[in-house]
Amino acid sequence: MLAALTSTWALLLGVALIMLGNGLQGTLLGVRASVESFDTTATGLVMTCYFIGFMLGSTATPRVVRTVGHVRVFAAMASMASAAVLLHALFVSPVTWGLVRIGTGFCFAGLYVIAESWLNDRATNETRGALLSMYMIVTFGGMICGQLLINVGNPASFELFVVSSVLVSFAVVPIALTATPAPEFDMPTTVSIRQLYEVSPLGVVGMAGQGIANGALLTLTAVYAQSAGFTLAETAWFATAPLVGGLLLQWPVGRLSDHLDRRTVLAATAVLAGIVGVNMHTLAGDSLPALMVAIAVFGGLALPQYSLCIAHTNDHLDPAQMVAASSTLVLVGSIGLAMGPTLAALMMDQFGNQALFYTIGIGQLAVGGFAIFRMTRRAAVPLEEQSQFVPLSARASPVATGIAVQLLQEQQEELDESGESGEDITRPL
């Protein structure tokens, strides 16, 4: 383990700096949009543009890397992402921000793809699970700390954009100076969404539904907080609370899903999150601490569903099919993430800012309802035949899901060798 950390510290440090800059930027844009009096729909469209760019970057980066190389592409992507942050401060308009956010999402997707592929190359069968867990902690922790950095400056000025830009620029340094050789790069193929739906309807619908709800949750909390009159510090903590909840409950929820019908856990977390969402203000009353606890609980229930959907789908696949299927699931989730901010923003403009909670709550109830429906249409997978839950961030690239799937494949091979594997439950893709 120590040897693995020695060979990956530069990658993890680079990722941490990227997440710090990305976390600060996301919250900063929501606050600054409110300062500039952008209407909520325009802000939602700006946030959607990031995920559009992310999908494009996830697809394009592998081809560029094969031609130019990991370090050069990483440096180029980080430089462009750093410059993009400053462009937000120079040209303050929804149209300009939307275009720049497409570029930002493209660059960050490239950075994640490269870092995650490099991390996987450094991992061994014995260390892959631990490194993936550490990567999760670094991404969540970096995003949380980045959002809190908004307290160090004035969002109406230029300085916080500079801070975010500097953090992203510094991410290049440990990567560029590492002596670790670049890995061979191979992105997984995909299957069609229709094919995957035939194998796991709940996996596809659940991934889309949680993407819509969580996309709105992760991008518009700062907008809501500013409209509600929160101070800058309160806004930062409010935007951070769902991520803290997601980090704390990711492993307990996953552990529970390994010992129960996975659909039951997905249905329970979605229904409970939906109830919390639609009753957010009723539960919290006029207490800001109570509201923060409520949204933290919502995040703790909602954010693990990304990994739950992947695990549930893998329960119905042969290990050889998992990589292709996981890439398609990431695409479905990204589509949901892109739809969420715009949909919630439209509702907020139409019905008031509290519509954010109703939107994410109803989205979760829809996922829970479909999970319950699917439980009546198919028998549960025997517990001994379920794949193991692997926690992942909702913002992970297809490479990270590929790492998780590789870990599952290795575990299945070990079970097969010991003669403890169950019967084949796969369906052809």
Determine the pLDDT at residue 367: 96
Average pLDDT over residues 134-152: 90
- Among the ranges given (18-32, 76-90, 168-182), the one the predictor scored with the smallest mean pLDDT: 168-182
> DSSP string spanning 213-260?
HHHHHHHHHHHHHHHTT--HHHHHHHHHHHHHHHHHHHHHHHHHHTTS
Determine the pLDDT at residue 420: 47
Confidence band of 418 (pLDDT split at 50, 70, 90): low
Per residue in 271-291, pLDDT (tens digit) is 999 999 999 988 877 789 999
**pTM greater than 0.95 (yes/no):** no
Q: How far apart are CA 326 and CA 63, in angstroms?
A: 19
Confidence band of 427 (pLDDT split at 50, 70, 90): very low
Confidence band of 329 (pLDDT split at 50, 70, 90): confident
Average pLDDT value for the chain: 85
Phi–psi pair at 220, nearest 5 degrees: -115, 0
Q: Which helix (H) or strand (E) holds 350?
A: helix 322-351
Is pLDDT at 351 greater than 60 in this prediction? Answer: yes
Q: Which CATH number fits domain 1-187: 3.50.50.60, 3.40.630.30, 1.20.1250.20, 2.60.40.1180?
A: 1.20.1250.20
Average pLDDT over residues 112-140: 77
Determine the pLDDT at residue 425: 36
- Among the ranges given (61-65, 161-165, 196-200, 221-225), the one the predictor scored with the smallest mean pLDDT: 61-65
Counts for the chain of helices (H) and strands (E), in that order: 17, 0
Determine the pLDDT at residue 402: 62
Q: Is the dihedral of CA 397, 403, 404, 406 positive or negative?
A: positive
Is pLDDT at 421 greater than 60 in this prediction? Answer: no
Q: How far apart are CA 425 and CA 422, in angstroms?
A: 9
Average pLDDT over residues 122-135: 72
Per residue in 241-271, pLDDT (tens digit) is 999 999 999 889 988 988 888 999 999 999 9
In the chain, residues under CATH classification 1.20.1250.20 are 1-187, 191-429
Cα separation values, 209 from 43, 233, 263, 267, 363, Å: 21, 31, 15, 12, 6
- Among the ranges given (55-64, 125-134, 213-222), the one the predictor scored with the smallest mean pLDDT: 125-134
Q: How many CB atoms lie within 10 A of CB 64?
A: 18
Q: How far apart are CA 312 and CA 263, in angstroms?
A: 7
Determine the pLDDT at residue 412: 61
Domain 191-429, CATH class in plain words: mainly alpha
Q: Which residue has the tokens 């606050």?
A: 31
Half-sphere exposure of 321 (CA within 13 A, CB side): 21
